Structure 1
Amino acid sequence: MTDIRERDFRGVDLNLLITLHVLLRERSVSRAAACLHVGQPAVSGALARLRAVFGDPLLVRIPGGMQPTPRALALQAALVPVLQGIQALVTEEPAFDPGATQRTFRIGLPDWVDAWLLAPLLARLHRDAPDARVQVLITDRFRLPDMLAREEVDFAVGGFHGAPGWQHQRPLATVHYCCMHRPGLLGGDAALTLDRYVALPHLLVTYRNALEGTVDEALRTLGRSRHVAYTSPRFSSLPRVLQQVPAIATVPDVLAPSWQRDFGLVRAPAPLELPPIEVVIAFHAAREQDPALRWLFEVIASIVDAPAD
């Protein structure tokens, strides 16, 4: 049995940890006070005590709110599972029952993952968890850490590399790239060669208004470049553009079947080697033991692993 040394808790009011949790979630003394049903001076005093206990500012003022320090984010990742464990002991929370749940799941998805997985996921939930609700928020690897820290989403699905340590990830799938264009663009049965590829105008999805991306990095290693004629933050806008414009788009290959079926586009292998997208389920470390999310992760994994029709 782990030895708990009572003396280590001297001078520490465990209620301060609840206040810390709410402050890190709300990032506002006034909002935290409202959630805790106490006055703002009490929360300000608690924050001062917390800073003294941990020897760290924890939250610093920025325009429009307060920003947690790295130490505060590490504390949040460690603290929330502890509080959830105590809450489970007190409330005797029952095991998760998807058939009875009325929970709202907030899921962050890049729009290409939305197009790939949302329909089969909602169909599965309609069957197995008919009273559950789903809110989808569009995200990307740049916005996701802050969205998870603010609890705007429960988890996200996508290619989220370069994540902070408190953002846990569950591997889901490896997705490769392919090229999409309208019929007749290459003429007859002509193959998409690298020379033809770089000569065509390109459509690019970018989340930070850049005119370059993964393809351009790969082309540079070959001493080549392309002309990006159009950019968008959404993959969903590309198929209709490709129907009308003699251009090409290099996209995750999971989009190809629906773009071929619904928009009459043609698929071709990319004429250069591109790094695949390692798709993961990303979530805050504090949600590791959430039984509802763990069930939903298994549902999503089963959809990805199901054989294509």
Structure 2
Amino acid sequence: MTNIRERDFRGLDLNLLVTLLVLLREKSVSRAAACLHLGQPAVSGALARLREWFKDDLLVRSKGGMQPTLRARELQAALGPALEEIQAAVSRVPVFEPRSATRTFLLGLPDWVDAWLLPPLLATLQQQAPGVKLSVVATDPFRVAEMLSGEEMDLAVGAFAEGPPWQRTRPLRSMGFRCVCRPGLVRGRQARLSLEQYTALPHLLVTYRGAFHGTVDEALAPLGRARRVAYTSPRFSSLPPVLQQVAALATVPEVLAPLWQRDFGLMSWPLPFDIAPFTVSIAHHRTRDRDPALQWLCGVIESLAVDEGRGAG
């Protein structure tokens, strides 16, 4: 595209080239007008403009109808294939065939979504689209719009605030929280952790801006309670080894609790107070609305999120 000299097209209506090819095929102004659904005067006027542009008669009247000049034949040979390619490009409906596709997606995930969705997603892609590759990049709620706008990722999955008008956000599922700690930290065999136990122990908090205050603290305040946050990290993946050794609690998205219970031997408890669930969404730029490959991947992720949600229930 960088080789196109725009000035060479100045003053030329490219529709005239279509008219020229139809005239050369039909060798008749009246028949060409019928094919183009135009009046005969309009086609005659187009032929006059073409003659002026190319400085050639192009079509000459004879007993057998209008005959093309040598210049017209040269144009027909060159423009015919070019306009057929243009026609194919503008009329082609994009399709995506997962089984045969070779495509790389930049997928933005916070690390907790990575742990939750990436294993089943990769297994699904291996089965349904073996030529598709994923490159996972770290993101968080505060960087989604910037990273999508800068094409640092094609798609993001997580808990995001409402973005700019061009950001397409599709809710995947609602999700709550669970409290996680090492075995033996909470005494007794009760099915629920008490509010006193919850607030008496130190807490580990994941925050993307280094704050020691979060959603949980906002939910505790109306109850006249507070917790002591002893440690913050921008990564959920850093918590399990700490929880194994430190007498502390962590309140995490509910999908992490069974994973950490299985992989790290941690215990999981419902929260002893009400807290609003959050929404996990998928986000992309509106310029990708008609990208069939990206929309297919969105559908796969949506199905997995729903299935995983049923499993958690």
CA RMSD of aligned residues (A): 2.1
- The answer for the alignment partner of 1:303 in structure 2 is 304
Unaligned 5+ runs, structure 2: 1-85
Residue 308 of structure 1 and its aligned partner are, at CA, apart by 2.4
Letter in 1 for 2:165: G
User: Distance between the aligned counterparts of 1:93 and 1:152, measured in 2?
Assistant: 27
Unaligned 5+ runs, structure 1: 1-85
Q: How many residues matched?
A: 226
State the TM-score, normalizing by the size of structure 2: 0.69
Residue 159 of structure 1 and its aligned partner are, at CA, apart by 0.6
User: Distance between the aligned counterparts of 1:276 and 1:112, measured in 2?
Assistant: 16
- The answer for the alignment partner of 2:178 in structure 1 is 178
Output aligned runs, 1:101-250, within 5 Å.
101-190=101-190, 191-250=192-251
Residue 88 of structure 1 and its aligned partner are, at CA, apart by 8.2
User: Distance between the aligned counterparts of 2:279 and 2:88, measured in 1?
Assistant: 34
Residue 277 of structure 1 and its aligned partner are, at CA, apart by 1.6
User: Distance between the aligned counterparts of 1:273 and 1:219, measured in 2?
Assistant: 9
The percentage of aligned residue pairs carrying the same residue is: 58
Letter in 1 for 2:227: R
User: Distance between the aligned counterparts of 1:269 and 1:119, measured in 2?
Assistant: 25
Contact 2:183 2:266 in 1 (8 A): yes
User: Distance between the aligned counterparts of 2:168 and 2:88, measured in 1?
Assistant: 22
**Alignment partner of 1:308: what SS?**
helix
User: Distance between the aligned counterparts of 1:169 and 1:291, measured in 2?
Assistant: 17
Letter in 2 for 1:120: P
- The answer for the alignment partner of 1:276 in structure 2 is 277
Residue 89 of structure 1 and its aligned partner are, at CA, apart by 3.8
Residue 90 of structure 1 and its aligned partner are, at CA, apart by 3.6
- The answer for the alignment partner of 1:261 in structure 2 is 262
State the TM-score, normalizing by the size of structure 1: 0.70
Q: 1:201 to 1:87 in 2, by over 3 A?
A: farther
Letter in 2 for 1:101: A
User: Distance between the aligned counterparts of 1:87 and 1:139, measured in 2?
Assistant: 40
Residue 91 of structure 1 and its aligned partner are, at CA, apart by 7.9
User: Distance between the aligned counterparts of 1:175 and 1:203, measured in 2?
Assistant: 20
Contact 2:169 2:281 in 1 (8 A): yes
- The answer for the alignment partner of 2:78 in structure 1 is none
- The answer for the alignment partner of 2:11 in structure 1 is none
